[in-house]
A and B are shown apart, each in its own frame.
Chain A
Amino acid sequence: MDFNFSEDQILMRDAAREFAEKRLKPIAEELDAESHLPAELLKETAELGYFGLLAPEEYGGLAIDYLSYALVIEEISKMCAALAIAISVQNSLVIKAISRYGSAEQKSKYLPKLAAGEYIGSYCLSEPAAGTDAGALQCRAIRTGNDFVFNGTKSWVTSAGYASIFLVFAITDPSKGRKGISCIIVEKDAKGMSLGQPEKKMGLKASDTREVSFVDCNVPVVQLLGEENHGLKVAFSLLEAGRVGVAAQALGIAEAAFAEAVSYARERKQFGQAIIEFQATQFKLAEMATRIEASRLLTYRAAVLYDSGEPHVKEISMAKLFSSQTANYVANEAVQIHGGYGYVKEYAVERYFRDARITEIYEGTTEAQKMVIARVLMQETQH
């Protein structure tokens, strides 16, 4: 494949790299320790356009292609994976959903604010008992007159603490099972909706993650996004492409951990020489670099396939599967190369190790990716 980046793609990548290096790198450790993305940083991110990367130009977005998008997420993830996921959810899930499925009114009401980062959006699919099996939702939004009445709980909702709108997947027709689910836009001050405390997590601590609960929460029927009872299709089609963002995030974490490992291996001396002189260290670095290169190719190719409209479902899952596994492999080896120093907060690899683990879990676990890949494989090989 040819990855001769266009000038625009290079510009996007370099700008993101500069933002990450100058603005994020100095504060990443502090954001993790304080488990918080400050409002000021979110505002700055918005001003740079990162919350509107995938929004159409007519609504004030940058409307960049997926390869550019992957490059931006990769660069930001190198320094702050928590901010990267907020950007990823905003763009590939929330903005994409409204751009693709929204009514004209919904688009003009929400997209300009989302594109400007004035609104942050959350995506509410998972529930305590419905993770990989997203079709097993229990949250209900039963139509009563001109309203949907919500009852239920959503878990692991990214950016919930500062989100202005929530895309909530809920059962609208209990008699139809998986085909009775709809996606509805809920605004933050909806009566009957409440936010839990921020979840404590192993990593990605600066990312705001909460439960969102609904008790007799009334939302006007005009807030329905897309067709009624076709919500699951909406959810899956968004996740399919959204995974490019997580693949790029994992790639960025791996690259950053690798860079730290190389520079430490050069400066750390034991037994009278830099540890990079030991073959055992060299072989670790060779393996890490090779897997990173493979992740990069898979991720960029998945983005290009998506952009060109070619079949991409299997390829995106492969990119997400392999990149997230690589992030964990590389972060683990990077800690190992650092020895005791890799186990303490002063060294960034400690954070990369904790952050990497989530990339194999969210937007479809490693197991869910394998299910997708196998399903497509079986379809492709049917005669």
Chain B
Amino acid sequence: MFADSEYAGFRTEVRAFCESEIAPLALEADEKQIFPPTHLDKLQQKGWWKIQLPEEYGGINYNTVQYSIIVEELSRVCGSTGLTVAAHNSLGVGPIYSFGTPEQRDRYLRTDSSQAVLIAFGLTEPQAGSDAGGTQSVAVRNGDHYVLNGTKCWITSSNLCKYAIVTARTDKSGGVKGISSFILEKGMKGFSVGKKENKMGCRGSDTAFLHFDDVHVPVESRMGAEGEGFKQFMITLDGGRISIGAMALGLAVGAFEVAAKYAATHKQFGKPIGEYQAIQWKLADMATRIEAARGLIYGASVMKDKKQNYSQQSAMAKLYAAEVCNFVTSEAIGVLGGDGYSPRYPVERMYRDMKLTEIGEGTSEIQRMVIARAILKSIKVDA
């Protein structure tokens, strides 16, 4: 059995919440391109903005298996909400807790428990996507502060966030060891949010550019030492990939359930289409691949909890779950026919949301690079 099976009761509770509180707003979030404001408070009450933080920071201290279950269940009903929760926890809260000083943890994580405080993660730039080491943003030290200039793109929760972790070059000699991380706060002079993206899917998630125009960042807002930025985000992304994999899994499960129900009830040629072998085989392939993706996601989650090296497994989990999600959401549309092309059924939205999972937090191509690199590194060749 999978690592998540011992959490069946937990999953039931999570699912009930997602169905009653998140699902009803999914269509509207997509149509209006807005993250439902009431979600902020509801998720805050659940503690889901601090899923893996210790209680002393107001967190609920869940393990990665539980975290993955939450993201999966949110995404099963609303990809935009799953993405927003995953990005905040894995890429915002996670690195500050892992790499921040006690003072930084206090300032950014020990926040007022009555309201949601979102943290964004700014890594990608227009010219530095898969090649994240190609960062062109620059932070120049000037006494007790840095002067930051540059642009970040595809930043989740750009408008919603209060803080943003961003990477910039502190060493002009180039190379990945010249990249450092800084924690920015909304309201800093010169720090602005740019155009909101008009996306194919995950339209309820808040994606925009971040611009830095001579932003004065105090030295104490640097996260870790100078030059540690690249290493930090490589570690951060290893964890983030599990959550995007869980998002892909959730979307696939959501689409599969709609398709299976449709197949069992929609009649053509005098019987439910589920009685046709062509449809049965689709359902069988969809379900089998979902199970395999589930095994990878929860396997990687357990490895992370056991503090094993899970970098290759998280890349595999994300790669495979995203491709399964593509297959399953597409086949679900195939089962529904014209109904699958209409927003009257959620598979239309899930198919559009799906494509993000093959792109965000490392494209499928990058996952393959990570996996191949780990494989080749493990093989000792005699000279």
Contacts and interface: CB of A to CB of B under 8 A. Distances in A.
A270 B338 contact: no
Contacts of B351: 202, 357
A130 B337 CA distance: 11
A344 B129 contact: no
Main secondary structure of the interface of B (DSSP, over half): mixed
A200 B200 contact: no
Interface residues of B, number: 42
A280 B333 contact: no
A342 B359 contact: yes
Interface in A219-249: none
Most buried by A among B127, B131, B337: B337
A200 B355 CA distance: 20
Nearest to A126: B338
Interface string B107-140: 0000000000000000010011111001000000
A133 B359 contact: no
Interface in B335-364: 337-338, 340-343, 348, 351-352, 355-356, 358-360, 363-364
A271 interface: yes
B197 interface: yes
Most buried by B among A130, A270, A280, A335: A270
A354 to B, nearest CB: 7
B191 interface: no
A358 B343 CA distance: 14
B198 A344 contact: yes
Contacts of A52: none
B368 interface: yes
B359 A280 contact: no
Main secondary structure of the interface of A (DSSP, over half): mixed
A163 to B, nearest CB: 18
A328 interface: yes
A376 B355 CA distance: 37
Nearest to A341: B129
Nearest to A350: B200
A361 B340 contact: yes
Contact of A339 (B130, B197, B270, B326): B130
Contacts of A155: 338
Interface in A299-346: 328, 332, 335-336, 339-340, 342-346
Contacts of A130: 268
Interface of A: 126, 129-133, 135-136, 155-156, 199-203, 269-272, 280, 328, 332, 335-336, 339-340, 342-346, 350, 353-354, 357-358, 360-362, 365-367, 370
24 contacts: A129-B267, A131-B337, A135-B269, A155-B338, A156-B338, A202-B348, A203-B341, A270-B134, A271-B134, A272-B131, A335-B200, A336-B359, A339-B130, A339-B363, A340-B359, A343-B199, A343-B355, A343-B359, A344-B197, A353-B200, A357-B333, A361-B337, A361-B340, A367-B334
